[in-house]
């Protein structure tokens, strides 16, 4: 839903997932861990034209709890801004990784990143 360009909302928030009806999770015991969630994309608009949207999503930032309080504009705006900042941070980290790799530098952290990072594909 969040990554669908035809859907206006770029987040998902629910303070009562047990009664939501359409919530699905790969963990069958999720309801023992939380009952409320908010999910925002880690994204950036890559278009040079501000009117045209060319959104690239790296992943999602999720916050969960039992008591709710996520269904408000301030939380959504704060987490959306954090997701946008994370995109920039991850992009910089990816560039450092590529530079290090191209220079023949290596360490345990760089080797681990090569398994989960884009390796210069961002």
Q: How many domains does the chain have?
A: 1
Residue 23's domain spans which residues?
A: 12-116
Q: Read off φ and ψ for residue 61, nearest 5 degrees.
A: -100, 125
pLDDT at 121: 44
pLDDT at 116: 52
**More confident site: 110 or 78:** 78
Mean per-residue pLDDT, 65-77: 94
For the chain, give the mean pLDDT: 85
Closest CA to 122 of 5, 52, 44: 44
pLDDT at 114: 61
Q: Are the C-beta atoms of residues 120 and 98 closer than 8 Å to each other?
A: yes
**More confident site: 91 or 77:** 77
**More confident site: 56 or 33:** 33
Q: Is residue 6 part of a domain?
A: no
- pTM value is 0.77
């Amino acid at each position: 839903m969040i990554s669908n360009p035809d859907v206006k909302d770029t987040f998902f928030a629910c303070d009562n997932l047990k009664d939501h009806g359409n919530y699905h999770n790969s963990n069958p015991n999720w309801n023992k861990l939380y009952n409320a969630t908010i999910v925002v994309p880690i994204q950036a608009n890559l278009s040079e034209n501000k009117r045209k949207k060319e959104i690239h999503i790296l992943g999602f930032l999720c916050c969960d709890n039992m008591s709710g309080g996520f269904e408000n504009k301030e939380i959504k705006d704060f987490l959306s801004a954090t997701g946008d900042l994370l995109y920039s941070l991850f992009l910089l980290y990816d560039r450092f990784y590529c530079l290090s790799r191209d220079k023949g530098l290596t360490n345990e952290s760089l080797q681990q990143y090569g398994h989960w990072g884009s390796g210069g594909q961002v």
